[in-house]
């Protein structure tokens, strides 16, 4: 999984925020549109697109889009190792 694709998928969860505003270092909770509903959308997106279940705790512990990417990517790698 490439971070560029993850950022695009993450940005797609926002209706009113320009996708160009999203970078790896973006602190997503500082985006005005961020809400618990978008958090749920991000959880659903990672499950659907990457077969990774994020928990609320994962989102609370992450600061940036890259932090979330690293969590998702690490779980993909673990799944690959476990077959």
pTM: 0.93
Residue-level pLDDT at 12? 98
Give the pLDDT confidence of 26-77 residue by residue, as tens digits: 999 999 999 999 999 999 999 999 999 999 999 999 999 999 999 999 999 8
Give the pLDDT confidence of 9-24 residue by residue, as tens digits: 999 999 999 999 999 9
Residue-level pLDDT at 14? 98
CATH topology for 3-82 is 1.10.1200
In 3D, which of 37, 23, 34, 12 has the Cα closest to residue 67? 23
| Residue ranges per structural domain of the chain | 3-82
Are the C-beta atoms of 13 and 42 separated by less than 8 Å? Answer: yes
Q: Give dist(CA 38, CA 42) in Å, integer.
A: 6
Residue-level pLDDT at 1? 81
Residue-level pLDDT at 77? 85
């Amino acid at each position: 999984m490439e971070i560029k694709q993850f950022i695009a998928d993450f940005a797609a969860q926002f209706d009113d925020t320009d996708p160009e505003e999203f970078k790896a270092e973006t602190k997503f909770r500082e985006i005005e549109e961020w809400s618990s509903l978008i958090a749920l959308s991000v959880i659903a997106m990672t499950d659907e697109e990457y077969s990774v279940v994020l928990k609320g705790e994962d989102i609370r512990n992450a600061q940036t889009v890259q932090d979330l990417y690293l969590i998702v990517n690490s779980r993909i790698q673990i799944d690959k190792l476990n077959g």
